[in-house]
Structure 1
């Protein structure tokens, strides 16, 4: 049975003027990007059963706008560890996913989201992974064993 990992980089955020990077909101363009990402997922019938989302404001806002386009809002875990995670840390979070979940969405930050996708693209280099970029990794293993070499990624947007 194939598991599907959907990778989403948060949409465009406002520049950091003062305060915390963690609390930067989406820009108006970012809000449009997030809505478009949700519409893209819905049009492709890519409906996540569950979500792992960074606790940063811009990732939470991205997820909220994406799920507006979906027929059902998936359950979600908001993970502080996903905010500054590297690829092994994200894969550790993925490995804890309930085996019943078929389609998992991860909403996070670059460079980690780009590196995660690139790790599953053995035959072609990843040139860019823009804000609100989407990719799908079709895994050949259960979540517990997700690692580079256990599936293949393709860019959606």
Structure 2
């Protein structure tokens, strides 16, 4: 294995009523989901050393709760481009990751996170990728060359 990519869909958020979709907060259940995702990563020994997180409040809150369960806090970049990104944009962001990073966690939104995971699973259907869904992709290449077909997926939740 050369690099490890963790894909995390943000946890359950409050429904959009008034205000901005970008500022929707996690529900109490979403907070529990995020904590469980962090515990799953920690118990599996998959700990990111860097995070690329959407700037949306629900994604930031998800990452903060996940990080509480980790043995150390990874460095993080908050990426506006992950909010509303398509798979190509997410992949471009991944390919720009510092080569020193061994394990990258990407925290974003559906449908992009599900489509990103599915792109690495061409022979298997991805039936669903729920809120706080986690996938670990063991890449066979450096970040610069990350693309569908360059890694094996393991779903954690």
TM-score range, shorter chain: over 0.9
Alignment of 1:66-81 (within 5 A): 66-81=66-81
Quote the residue 1:56 is aligned against. 56
RMSD: 0.7
Quote the residue 1:101 is aligned against. 101
**Partner Cα distance (1:150, 1:53) in 2:** 22
Quote the residue 2:26 is aligned against. 26
Deviation of the 1:55 alpha carbon: 0.1
Q: Are positions 1:36 and 2:36 aligned together?
A: yes
Query: Secondary structure of the equivalent of 1:115?
Result: helix
**Partner Cα distance (1:87, 1:153) in 2:** 16
Quote the residue 1:135 is aligned against. 135
Query: Secondary structure of the equivalent of 2:78?
Result: strand
Asked whether the 8 Å contact 1:121–1:154 carries over to 2, the reply is: no
**Partner Cα distance (1:41, 1:147) in 2:** 23
**Partner Cα distance (2:4, 2:22) in 1:** 28
Query: Secondary structure of the equivalent of 1:105?
Result: strand
**Partner Cα distance (2:44, 2:139) in 1:** 18
Quote the residue 2:152 is aligned against. 152
Unaligned runs of 5+ in 1: none
Q: Are positions 1:4 and 2:19 aligned together?
A: no
Query: Secondary structure of the equivalent of 1:5?
Result: strand
After TM superposition, the runs of 4+ consecutive aligned structure 1 residues lying more than 6 A away are: none
Deviation of the 1:154 alpha carbon: 1.7
Deviation of the 1:6 alpha carbon: 0.3
Deviation of the 1:152 alpha carbon: 1.6
Alignment of 1:80-91 (within 5 A): 80-91=80-91
